[in-house]
Amino acid sequence: MLGIVFAVSQFFLMSSFQRIEEQYAREMVERTTNAFNNQLESLNRLNLDWASWDDTYAFVQNPSDHYDYVKSNFTDSTFTNNKLNFIFVINNEGQTIYGKGFDLDAEVETDMPSELLEHIMSKALTFHGDVEEYTAGIILLPQGPLLVSSQPILTSNDEGPIRGTFVMAQYFDEAMINGISDAVHLPLTIARVDDTEMPAAFSVARLSLSTESPLFISRESVKTVAGYALLKDIYGEPALMFRVEMPRDVTAQGQALMIYFILAVCGLAIVYVYVVNVFVGRVVIARLERVGHFVNTISISGDLSTNLPTRSNDELTVLERNINRMVDKLQEQQEELNKELEERKKMAQKLKEMATHDFLTGLPNRILLIDRFNIASALAHRNQDRLAVMSLDIDHFKTINDTLGHDIGDKLLIGFGARIGGIIRASDTLARIGGDEFVLLVLETNHKEDTSVIAQKIIDSFKEHFSVDDQWVYLSTSIGIAIYPDDGVDLETLLKKSDAALYYSKGHGRNKFKFFSDGDVWLAGDRKSNNG
């Protein structure tokens, strides 16, 4: 019987714990991948601020007439403050107008690696098909892996024609790896895919990783489980592998619980045999059989909430009380394990929320906006209702960032979203999809006048100033409006048309709204960031 109890416990309990352990490991690998992508996104956003700037636009066209641009902007502090190792400015003819390498440890200018220059001149970094196209990713150099961002050089209003390419790069060094490790609270190790002497554990994992299976979980010892994933370079080829290591806490607790239970059952069996041999009597045997039945019931059902009833004060009663104490202890451990599993479910829910909400404002992001639009448009189609898609941005926000700084700019973005959120209905959705770009999805807008009232109410709400760091800041907003299904039935089409109406509003004085259906609105190009 003990063998059966052990086998059943091993099969059902341990397999369950191992599934939980693998799911947790996968979530941690995905969390690490997101942390790396956030690092790359930060570099790309910094590069966008420099590439979409009138001063850069003028410099790349006439370098000799704008020498002060280099002198005042590409200082050593620019590299140290932003942790950059390389900056390049390249014109449309492929000529490097400006290039500088910087050693962050020694804080001195350094030579450009010839291998990097070969990558810089490749079309993967210098060709941009339109103002929206950019490149960001990894380049492998003999000196180490490099994070690189390439943006088309545009005006401060993100307008063309494209005059060249602005490239920023930083080594993916030990400090950056430690930063990601601290962010995910797990040990992190990186290996190059082209390293012929990579550690054996990486070599084994590499055989199981591919484009179709970019993630691999390995139980490497009784105490640790490791997760592996591939990171691709700018050419779409595998460049780096990373490994995160996690303690096998869930399995360890499950094993401890199972061993404790089995030992308890063994102890009870020994006591049972002893009592049967010493006290021969129908009452004694009946009571021991009741104890054995109770233990068997627990081992099969796993229900630890019941106790043996105790009626007298003899030796068997002491045994029953000890069994009850043992069951109570097992129940406590089960509750602790359930509590930990619940906390991990909450962590998984938080990670899911991070994937569908903007990290700065807490508003829905593009992913959640698309999901809510699909639901709302299906309902509107069935009920023959209309929806309004409003594109909003902050007038002159680029100037605000340049003059007051990005910290105040971030606080104003939060305040901007909060003020609109206090006006709209709970059924409507306000999303931030990038920079100072916001999209408002308004349900059941069957009359144009109702939509106009909402848009004007939003504009009027910004007559009141924002108080940020003891400063009064006044904002205004321009709004472009497209109507479902009159202007389109898919979100991408509606966003293009609401953006076109937005640019019309900005081009005709700002601080106003415009319907795409009013006419005089030109639909040109894809949706893009607007910092004006």
Whether 436 is a known active-site residue: answer yes
Helix, strand or coil, per DSSP, at residue 313: coil
Strand partners for 240: 192, 231
Do 409 and 397 touch, CB atoms closer than 8 A? Answer: yes
Residue linked to tokens 């999303």:
431
Per the DSSP assignment, residues forming a β-bridge with 233 are 138
Beta strands in 142-218 (DSSP E): 144-152, 164-171, 188-192, 215-218
Dihedral Cα 296, 297, 298, 299, nearest 10 deg: 50
- Name the DSSP class of 13: I
Q: Which residues contact residue 470 at a Cβ distance below 8 angstroms, ignoring those fewer than 6 apart?
A: none
Catalytic residue among 49, 393, 395, 436: 436
Q: Which long-range contacts (CB under 8 A, 24 or more apart) does 486-493 make?
A: 486/386, 486/517, 487/516, 487/517, 489/377, 489/381, 491/369, 491/370, 491/373, 491/374, 491/377, 491/389, 492/527
Rounded Cα gap, residues 505 and 511, in angstroms = 7
Strands (E), 181-326: 188-192, 215-218, 224-232, 238-247
Catalytic center residues = 436
